[in-house]
């Protein structure tokens, strides 16, 4: 075998590989067209720290409605500090970030954006690599290290499960009770106004510290609150653009 | 060597294989327990979701980097005389990548869905890119290793046509070297970038990790190849090595380590200038905290400084003991670097509370199950290489060097 011949053959093969790669890239473009167009509704949650007493009812109602095991909290309430004499709490659901690190890093597109802004989890697709857990700046994700068996201690006192229990080996998180929103909308109800169409944590809050609604509707409770009051979001410096807003606790004059 | 003469050689060989088989059996039992009970058997947590298995995964891919770098040297740079060493490296590469796959199968929560990344593409995800590259490169390595498997005497006696076809695949070596180089440059660096792109973890969030990953992988991959060749030639007389080739490679590894030390130094220094929550704590975990012994002794002193001195000094490099020691230390330093990189980002938990710079520390020590299954994966790698040396003659410089020389002589003549 002479050398020039070998080289030409290699060259041809290389070009074939090149053509294959380019046409492959075109195919990929169609196969992975995943850009989500923003829909008419953009759900946001507003949590008033001045009203939150840290009772933790939201966590329990969430566990019952979403059948979350007792050692996992999709909505965690922590003591954040003090304003004057008053303790201040932070309730942390999933932030449903508009630029969510978890959506970017998931190798199988198990975390995706819905048109209404909710960051969805596909529990049938998740492979349990836990990259999203490592990437989430809010520790909002939990892994199912073991099978959750037996009755849920939060049921029926705090509500009845409305979504299937997640299997062992997948990561789970809060999805703004998307099932309640979807069912409510199909019945002509307004999420954030009608309790049947509103996330469980909002309904259970005894002090009305949590408000839910459509950011695109200027008349919604959340739009009004965010218009009237100063608000902040968690770790804004990371530019994840969370859809959970907090109204800071104001010291009593 | 002296001890070896007292026993018949086969006894030692069988004892070695026996020990490895026991370790593999224990690993299989541990893996079955993990598959039936779940990852609750590990000491991993939502705070530290990646641990020992990820380190094994990263390290076994890193030691496989000898395959792409030496194949590129032989078939693309035209350094044909290194071909027998590239052959050993390719075989080690195949073993390394299968070890990585085994540890990943343990590590993911749903091993039954391992194929999802191939079907559901998220092109934004570095882990997706790594998965695709590793899958494709494993195929490349398998084809590259076909001529090696064709050397299995039993196979060539029973299926001579098949083995001659397998040997024929050697024709594709140059193009496979190109593909291998591309895929490896991508995923060896992306493994570092998997950490580097996470802005939630300030200690990792920098571009340098991907550069450091690929340089340390090339150094460790070549080191393991040379080390494995040398130790095989000491343990069995069947293996013939060309020490001049290995000496040249060891010298080259010394210079790669200098480059690595240079990047490492500026990478670390740049992190000391301002206080950045999480990043500063991560660095002090390495320099003064729980990882400081690993960092100063394992990574810097034994993993870099000592091997640089031993490999660049002609006298020590010429002595098999010191050269082998230096090469083993390079591999150890690379493993320590992978372990430290993973943990220095994970052991620190940044608070999401507003205006709160508080940093919480967490801890991780692998559980018995993690260790036993990890040992099983390691034992599998050693067993595969031992069998390769004995039955496939993966370390054999004489025959092929001879062959390559003949070719070298023959080719210019044919070209004219």
Show me where the domains of chain A are located.
35-247
Place of tokens 């009051």: A229
A2 CB neighbours in chain B (<8 A) are 411, 414-415
Residues in chain B with pLDDT < 70?
A: 1-9, 356-357, 399-416
CB A143 within 8 A of CB B46: yes
Indicate the helix (H) or strand (E) that contains A9: helix A3-31
pLDDT of residue A23 exceeding 60: yes
Cα(A85)–Cα(A81) distance, integer angstroms = 10
CA A48 centroid distance within chain: 19
> How many other CB atoms sit within 10 Å of the CB of residue B109?
21
Of B109, B123, B126, the CB nearest to A143: B109
Q: Which of B47, B78, B113 to mutate to test the interface with A (most CBs of A within 10 A)?
A: B113
Cβ of A149 under 8 Å from any chain B Cβ?
no
Topology (CATH level 3) of domain A35-247: Alpha-Beta Plaits (3.30.70)
Nearest one of B394, B406, B407 to B66, comparing CA atoms: B394
pLDDT value for B8: 62
Reported as a pLDDT band with limits 50, 70 and 90, residue A250 is confident
Cβ contact, residue pair B415, A4, below 8 Å: yes
Give CA–CA dist B377/B374, Å, rounded: 5
pLDDT at A25 over 90: no
Q: Which pLDDT score is estimated for B5?
A: 52
Question: What are φ and ψ of residue B160, in 5° steps?
Answer: -60, -35
Say how far apart CA A172 and CA B148 lie, in whole Å.
46
Measured between beta carbons, the chain A residues lying within 8 angstroms of B409 are none
Q: Does A249 touch chain B (CB under 8 A)?
A: no
B400, B87 contact by CB (below 8 A):
yes
Q: What is the pLDDT of residues B68-110, one digit of tens each?
A: 999 999 999 999 999 999 999 999 999 999 999 999 999 999 9
Q: How confident is the model at residue A34 (pLDDT cuts 50, 70, 90)?
A: low
Which of A81, A133, A170 is closest, CB to CB, to B110? A170
Cβ distance B122 to A235 less than 8 Å, yes or no, reads no
Checking if the pLDDT of A1 tops 90, the result is no
Residue A253: band (very low, low, confident or very high) from pLDDT cuts 50, 70, 90: low
The answer to whether A163 touches A68, Cβ cutoff 8 Å, is no
Q: Which residues are CB-contacts of B233 (< 8 A; sequence separation ≥ 6)?
A: B239, B240, B241, B395
Q: Are the Cβ atoms of B411 and A3 closer than 8 angstroms?
A: yes
Strands of B109-216 (E only): list them.
none
**Among B22, B101, B10, which Cα is nearest to B379's?**
B22
Contacts (Cβ under 8 Å, ≥6 apart) of A219? none
* Smallest Cα distance from A198 to chain B, Å: 26
Which chain B residues touch A246 with a CB distance below 8 Å? 354
Q: Give the A window 226-245 contacts with B, CB below 8 Å.
A: 232, 234-235, 238
Residue contact A101–B199, C-beta within 8 A: yes
Instruction: Read off the pLDDT of residues B177-202 as tens digits, 9 standing for 90 and up.
Output: 999 999 999 999 999 999 999 999 99
Angle B296-B368-B17 from CA coordinates, rounded to 5°: 90
Cβ within 8 Å of B, A 28-67: 28, 31-32, 34
Q: Which of residues 184-213 of A touch B (CB under 8 A)?
A: none
pLDDT over 90 for what percent of chain A? 79
- Quote the pLDDT of residue B416: 37
CA distance B136 to B141: 9
What DSSP assignment string belongs to B260-316?
HHHHHHHHHHHTTSS--TTHHHHHHHHHTSTTHIIIIIIIIIIIIIHHHHHHHSHHH
What count of other Cβ atoms lies within 10 Å of the Cβ of residue A192? 24
CB contact under 8 A, B174 and A246: no
Two structure tokens written together for B15: 């004892």
Tens digits of per-residue pLDDT, A40-95? 999 999 999 999 999 999 999 999 999 999 999 999 999 988 888 899 999 999 99
Q: With a cut of 90, say whether residue A33 has pLDDT above it.
A: no
Mutate to test the interface with A, among B50, B124, B125, B191 (most CBs of A within 10 A): B125
The reply to whether residue B194 touches residue A131, judged by beta carbons under 8 angstroms, is yes
Compute φ and ψ for A171, nearest 5 degrees.
-90, 140
Structure tokens at B382: 């050693």
**Residue B100: closest CA among B260, B328, B338, B300:** B338
Nearest CB to B353 within list A1, A90, A238: A90
Count of CB pairs separated by less than 8 Å, A with B: 152
A166 DSSP 8-state letter: P
In sequence order, what are the residues at sequence separation of 6 or more whose Cβ sits closer than 8 angstroms to the Cβ of residue A70? A63, A152, A153, A154
DSSP B123: T
CA of A221 to nearest chain B CA: how many angstroms apart? 24
| Min distance B211 CA to chain A CA atoms (Å) | 20
Task: Report the length, in residues, of chain B.
Answer: 416
Phi first, then psi: give them for residue A185, nearest 5 degrees: -60, -40
For residue B212, what are its two tokens? 């450091």
Report CB contact under 8 Å: A137, B126: no
- The residue of chain B nearest to residue A78, with distances taken between CA atoms, is B353
How do strand A43-48 and strand A210-214 relate by DSSP bridges? antiparallel
Report chain A residues whose CB lies below 8 A from the CB of B131.
107
CATH of domain B15-407: 1.20.1630.10
Domain boundaries, given as residue ranges, for chain B? 15-407
Distance from CA of B345 to the nearest CA of A (A): 9
Q: How many helices (H) and strands (E) does chain A have?
A: 7, 9
């Amino acid at each position: 075998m002479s050398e020039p011949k070998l080289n030409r053959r290699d060259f041809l093969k290389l070009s074939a590989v090149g053509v294959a790669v380019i046409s492959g890239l075109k195919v990929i473009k169609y196969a992975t067209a995943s850009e989500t167009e923003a829909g008419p509704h953009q759900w946001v949650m507003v949590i008033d720290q001045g009203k939150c007493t840290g009772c933790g009812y939201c966590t329990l109602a969430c566990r019952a409605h979403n059948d979350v095991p007792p050692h996992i909290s999709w909505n965690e309430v922590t003591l954040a500090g003090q304003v004057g004499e008053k303790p201040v709490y932070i309730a942390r659901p999933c932030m449903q970030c508009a630029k969510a690190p978890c959506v970017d890093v998931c190798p199988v597109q198990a975390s995706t954006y819905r048109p209404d802004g909710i960051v969805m989890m596909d529990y049938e697709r998740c492979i349990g690599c836990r990259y999203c857990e490592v990437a989430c700046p809010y520790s909002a994700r939990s892994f199912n290290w073991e099978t959750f068996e037996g009755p849920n201690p939060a049921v029926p006192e705090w509500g009845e499960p409305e979504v299937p229990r997640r299997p062992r080996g997948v990561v789970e998180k809060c999805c703004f009770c998307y099932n309640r929103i979807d069912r409510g909308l199909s019945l002509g109800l307004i999420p954030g106004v009608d309790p049947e169409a509103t996330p469980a944590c909002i309904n259970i809050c005894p002090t009305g510290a949590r408000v839910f609604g459509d950011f695109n509707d200027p008349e919604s409770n959340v739009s009004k609150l965010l218009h009237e009051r100063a608000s902040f979001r968690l770790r804004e410096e990371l530019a994840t653009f969370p859809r959970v807003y907090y109204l800071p606790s104001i010291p009593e004059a | 060597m002296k001890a070896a003469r007292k026993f018949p050689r086969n006894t030692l060989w069988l004892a070695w294989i026996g020990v490895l088989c026991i370790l593999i059996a224990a690993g299989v039992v541990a893996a079955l327990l993990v598959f039936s009970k779940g990852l609750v058997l590990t000491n991993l947590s939502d705070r530290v979701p990646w641990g020992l298995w990820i380190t094994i995964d990263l390290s076994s891919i890193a030691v496989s980097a000898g395959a792409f770098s030496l194949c590129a040297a032989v078939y693309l740079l035209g350094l044909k005389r290194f071909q027998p060493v590239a052959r050993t490296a390719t075989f080690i590469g195949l073993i390394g990548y299968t070890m990585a796959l085994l540890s990943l199968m343990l590590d993911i929560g749903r091993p039954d869905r391992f194929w999802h990344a191939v079907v559901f593409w998220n092109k934004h995800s570095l882990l997706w890119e790594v998965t695709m590259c590793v899958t494709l490169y494993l195929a490349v390595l398998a084809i590259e290793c076909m001529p090696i498997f064709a050397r299995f005497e039993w196979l060539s006696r029973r299926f001579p046509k098949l083995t001659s076809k397998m040997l024929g695949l050697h024709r594709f070596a140059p193009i496979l070297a190109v593909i291998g180089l591309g895929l490896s440059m991508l995923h060896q660096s992306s493994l570092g970038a998997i950490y580097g792109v996470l802005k939630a973890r300030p200690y990792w969030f920098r571009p340098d990790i991907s550069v450091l990953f690929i340089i340390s992988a090339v150094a460790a991959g070549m080191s393991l190849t040379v080390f494995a060749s040398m130790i095989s030639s000491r343990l069995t007389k069947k293996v013939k090595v060309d020490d001049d080739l290995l000496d040249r490679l060891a010298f080259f590894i010394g210079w790669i380590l200098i480059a690595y030390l240079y990047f490492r130094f500026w990478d670390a220094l740049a992190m000391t200038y301002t206080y950045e929550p999480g990043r500063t704590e991560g660095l002090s975990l390495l320099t003064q905290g729980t990882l400081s012994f690993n960092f100063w002794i394992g990574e810097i002193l034994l993993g870099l400084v000592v091997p640089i001195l031993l490999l660049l000094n002609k006298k020590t490099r010429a002595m098999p003991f010191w050269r082998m020691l230096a090469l083993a230390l390079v591999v150890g330093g690379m493993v320590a670097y992978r372990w430290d990189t993973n943990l220095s980002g994970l052991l620190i938990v940044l608070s999401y509370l507003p205006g709160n710079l508080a940093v919480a520390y967490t801890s991780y020590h692998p559980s018995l199950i993690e260790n036993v299954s990890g040992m099983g994966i390691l034992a599998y790698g050693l067993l595969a290489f031992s069998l390769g040396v004995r039955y496939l003659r993966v370390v054999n410089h004489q025959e092929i060097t001879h062959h390559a020389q003949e070719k070298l002589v023959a080719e210019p003549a044919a070209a004219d």
